[in-house]
Structure 1
Amino acid sequence: MHGMETRGLGWWAEARATLALAWPLALTNLSQHAMAATDALILGWFSTEALAAGTLGANLYWLMMAPALGTGFAAAPVMAQARGMGQRRGGAGRGWMRELRRGARSALVATLILLLPSLLVLWQGESILRLMGQEPALARDAGAFLRAMMWGLIPFSAFIVLRGFLAAMDRPGPALWVTGAAVVANAPLCWLLVFGAFGWEGMGVAGAGLASALADLLMLLALLVLIARDRRLRRFRLLGRFWRIDWPRLVEVFRIGLPISGQMLMEIGVFSAAALAMGWFGATAVAAHAIALQVAALSFMVPMGIGQAATARVGMMAGRGDAAGAWQAGWVAIGLGAGFMLAMATLFMLAARPIAWAFLDAREDGAAAVAALGAGLLTIAGLFQLGDGVQAVAAGALRGLKDTKVPMLLAALGYWGIGMPVGVGLAVAAKMGPAGLWLGLAAGVSLVAGMLLLRWRRLSEASRDRKALAGA
């Protein structure tokens, strides 16, 4: 077990342990995002308008998923600290297993509760987008996309909880295998449903949404099968007596998870608002924004995975009462995330134009304009790669300490107090257009990164001399 191996060891040992857990998590994230990127590529080849509609729909989809994802992510620190407590006791007894199982079940229940209003909102996606000032044709297609894709919400959210369980158990491999298989299956399925075959015209934008929903369902079913076939994992009986609600643990999951949901809403919301604001500048701006956002989000999947590893590592150390180990685990993870994103920033600035063209069919009318604007936005995205990586990992480390409320407030200040107002001001008042919006996003992300880094430094250093961090 990684947590037992690295107690008291040096920085390199912790880096190896973090990487051993982080790389499957990062690849899982990349695989999940690869499905979204595949959908964007196929929709871009179908038409510029289809890409724009799919982007509008996807932004609203992720915004509505954020509440449930927060409680799903809350399961990770609860389960990691439970496992750490078991390690502190030498693995004796089954109390820690019971605590871990209670955390997983409560997260699943909380997720289902929060998904119900989200599904109602997504069903009315077209009307909501039209009220937000989007073009009627784009809103109609985006609404069709959402009504197909929304059925993947429940299986995907359950998959996130189970993935957190596997991370807490240092077994991220099954989630990676399942997601990789889903990527392979999603590409031909999406193409078939969008374009059709054998005389069938296909479903257009709605086909991409349905392909994603089916892939989410297959991922959940496959992961459940793998867990059931594993002797070490199936003994937890995660779904046994699922209908019995553990009210104290459910309250704890909501206490930890709702601020995570709030923080995610702040971050996803600001990018979704930027996508909606892009609609003011026409379909070309929306399509260019979609390209830049897809690529930036793709690179973000790696520090997000490192942040998830940091939650597990820091939480495990906290549960064991190893304050110095928790401090070290967090800083190592932050350094790894920052190093990767510096490399991505360099790539974005040097290869923006060819990256943008990869999403477009050169024969499509308006493709050159979309590529030029997309390349410009990708260059700006390079400016905030470092900040994006640092804030993702620092937030993950803080979650390992069950510190989620203050990070949510810091995100609100950075994204909505600075990022969005500055972006809209530059885009409209300064007449910089789409580039102004992205410069505002860069400012907001960088500010959040700095504040979360200071928060982690203060909490982790204040805790180093304590014997236990479980109540932090």
Structure 2
Amino acid sequence: MSNPAPTVDTGQNNARPMGEHVRATIVLGVPLVAAQIAQMLITVIDTVMLGWLGVAELAAGTLAGQLFFLFIIFGLGFAAAMIPLVAGALGKGDEREVRRSARMGLWALVALSIAFMVPLWFTRDILLVLGQEVELVDLAERYMRIAQWSLIPAFVLIGLRGFLTALEWAGAVLAITIFATVLNAALNYAFIFGNWGAPRLEMEGAAVATVLANLAAAVLAAIVVAVSKKTRGYSVFTRFWRPDWAALSTISRLGFPISLTILAEAGLFSAASIMIGWLGKEPLAAHGIALQIASLAFMVPLGLSQVASVRVGNAVGRSAWMDVALATRAVIWLAVGFAVISGVVFIAIPEVLSALFLDADDPNAPTVLQLTVPLLYMAAAFQIVDGLQAVGSGALRGLKDTKVPMIMATIAYWPVGLSAAYFFAYPMGYGATGVWAGLVAGLAVASVCMIGRFILRTRYGLTPA
């Protein structure tokens, strides 16, 4: 009698029902999305209040904010690398690996933040080389000379939020972020306009608010991680000074490609700001408004991408291979549903949304408002593809797949997106609207690449099932 052929456990029998995946995604996703929105509101509030000062201040704030965000991207990438490593270790029940990944992730973030303060000191020179107006460059430099000191606490905060996200303690992430948002808004109101007895610092006031809010939020997050019953057992800060070179190498190996992937997209939007800056301060101010509105909507798929990383990483740690695909599918459904809703809102009330960022008494306000409306139409066009590329990237990070997605993103955003943006804006003569058409093209290619690669990995044998 012959022996039966060996079978491979694909996880089909012990896979969780799809309804359970949807519920788990909502439970984890709602507070994470809310935290992302609260985080983005810090920048939105800065933009709104600088817009109350004038169009020049709004345009300068857009330039400085985009440059600053390029460096923040690297912090986001390393935090994104921490999430699947910590989640996978939790899935295996390895507390030591949880501690190693969190601690060395914070090491890498602090080192990067210190290094990045050097180029930010030369903000004026960078913007002049990029052909921006001297008036705007001077205002942007006044902001950045102060705001750059927020980089260290901001990176620490990003790392601690990533750790709490991997533990699926999204409520703590949300509470800390709301605290930072409310504090930043109050400090902006005080220091930009000289309210509540504070000095009127205008551009510098927004920077002071950014530094103080990030510092306070980082301290609060560290206290939560150190003393909370849910986190203190991991002893993240115990013997924090001791290096773990193997764990640091793993974080760096995953973190750099993720950072470069996110940088490829953010760099495309920053390049768009530079190209629109060549058109003048009114188009740049309109771009800044549309970018803030679109970025605020993007916080939903961005939060869902973190959910995908956590749930896929945890499923990989448990060797639950069917759950890998099902968890991702649940996230995609929710991301696409929100993208449709936000796109409809952009098309239905663009003037209402844009007017929130402008002083009605400013003589340039009607021109800026008129230029912003078609940009929001273009933003509506890329809501679905932007959400899909974000969720696809998050799911691939859960599989610890970062290098090939980095290459895909770079090609999609730069040879495709940037070239299309320049072509539509200048040779075709569509100006700022043409630049945004290029953004749509780059994001569409990226979404096809990310979702396509995830399908290949889960359907055709590139995962154990």
Q: CA deviation at 1:178?
A: 1.3
Q: Does 1:8 align with 2:6?
A: no
Confirm or deny that 1:38 pairs with 2:45: yes
Residue identity opposite 1:232 in structure 2? K
Alpha carbons of structure 1 residues 194 and 465: separation in structure 2 relative to 1, 3 Å:
closer
SS of aligned partner of 2:236? coil
Instruction: Give matches, 1:183-332, under 5 Å.
Output: 183-197=181-195, 202-332=200-330
Alignment partner, residue 177 of structure 2: 179
Which aligned pairs between 1:28-427 and structure 2 lie closer than 5 A?
A: 28-86=35-93, 96-197=94-195, 202-427=200-425
2: CA distance, partners of 1:294 / 1:157:
21
How far 1:461 sits from its partner (Å)? 2.0
- Report the alpha carbon displacement of residue 115 of structure 1 after superposing the two structures with TM: 2.2
Question: Judging changes above 3 Å, is the alpha-carbon distance between structure 1 residues 283 and 227 closer, same or farther for their aligned structure 2 residues?
Answer: same
Q: Answer yes or no: is the 8 Å Cα contact 1:323–1:464 preserved in 2.
A: no
Equivalent residue number for residue 457 of structure 2: 459
Q: Cα gap change, 1:160/1:200 in structure 2, threshold over 3 Å: closer, same or farther?
A: closer
More off after superposition, 321-330 vs 198-207: 198-207
**Matched position secondary structure for 1:231:** coil
Quickly say closer, same or farther: Cα 1:250–1:352, change in 2 above 3 A.
Answer: same
Moved more, 209-218 or 270-279: 209-218
Partner of 1:92: none
TM-score (norm 1): 0.93
Alpha-carbon separation, structure 1, partners of 2:75 and 2:444 = 26
Deviation track 1:310-360 (CA, whole Å, cap 9, x = no partner) reads 100000000111111111111111121111111111111111111111111
Give the TM-score normalised by structure 2.
0.95
One-letter code aligned to 1:160: I
Q: Distance in 1 between matches of 2:348 and 2:82?
A: 39
Distance 1:197 1:387 in 2: 43
Q: Does the 8 A contact of 2:143 with 2:203 survive in 1?
A: yes
The answer to whether the 8 A contact 1:15-1:332 is kept is yes
C-alpha change, 1:302 and 1:224, in structure 2 (3 Å) is: same
**How far does residue 201 in structure 1 lie from its aligned partner after superposition?**
5.5
Between 240-249 and 107-116, report the one with greater CA deviation.
Answer: 107-116
Match of 2:25 among 18, 29, 35: 18
- 2: CA distance, partners of 1:183 / 1:199: 21
The more displaced of 280-289 and 198-207 is 198-207
Aligned mates of 1:278, 1:314 — CA distance in 2 = 39
- The Cα offsets for residues 167-207 of structure 1, whole Å up to 9 and x where unpaired, read as 22121111111111222222121021111137866111121
The one-letter amino acid of 1:307's match is: S
Q: Which whole-Å CA distance do the structure 2 matches of 1:144 and 1:329 have between them? A: 46
> CA 1:167/1:68 → structure 2, altered by over 3 Å: closer, same or farther?
closer
Give the Cα separation in 2 of the matches to 1:201 and 1:43. 16
Comparing 42-51 with 163-172, greater Cα deviation is found at 163-172
Contact 1:106 1:249 survives alignment (8 Å): yes
Match of 2:302, SS state, is helix
Q: Aligned in 2, Cα 1:464/1:405: closer, same or farther, shift over 3 Å?
A: closer
User: Per-residue deviation at 1:421?
Assistant: 0.5
Runs (4+) off by over 6 Å: none
Q: Structure 2 CA distance, aligned partners of 1:7 and 1:228?
A: 36
- SS state at 1:362 partner: coil
Report Cα offsets for 1:397-420 as digits up to 9, x if no partner: 110000011111111111101111
> Any stretches of 5+ residues in structure 1 without a counterpart?
1-5, 87-95, 468-472
Please give the alpha-carbon distance, in whole angstroms, between the structure 1 residues aligned to 2:255 and 2:169.
23
Q: Residue 250 of structure 1 aligns to a residue in which SS?
A: helix
1:404 & 1:380 partners in 2: Cα distance?
A: 29
Report if aligned partners of 1:74, 1:256 keep a CA contact under 8 Å in 2: yes
User: 1:432 and 1:330 mapped to 2: Cα distance?
Assistant: 38
- Work out whether residues 148 and 207 of structure 1, in 8 Å CA contact, stay in contact via their aligned partners in 2: no
Q: Which residue of 1 aligns with 2:5?
A: none
Partners of 2:335 and 2:318 in 1: how far apart? 25
Q: Deviations over 1:218-269 (max 9, x none)?
A: 1111112222332131111111111111111111111100000111110110
CA 1:104–1:199: 2 relative to 1, 3 Å: closer
Contact 1:323 1:463 (8 Å CA) reproduced: no
Q: Once the two structures are superposed, what CA deviation does each residue of 1:283-302 show, in whole Å capped at 9, x if it has no partner?
A: 00110000000000000001
CA distance in structure 2 between the partners assigned to 1:83 and 1:413 by the alignment: 34
RMSD of equivalent CA atoms: 1.5
Aligned residues: 453
- Report the alpha carbon displacement of residue 463 of structure 1 after superposing the two structures with TM: 5.0
Structure 2 CA distance, aligned partners of 1:231 and 1:80? 18
Deviation at 1:464, TM superposition (A): 8.5
- Does the 8 Å contact 2:339/2:384 carry over to 1? yes
8 Å CA contact retained: 1:337, 1:389: yes
Query: 1:196 and 1:67, CA in 2 relative to 1: closer, same or farther beyond 3 A?
Result: same
In structure 2, distance between residues paired with 1:460 and 1:30: 31
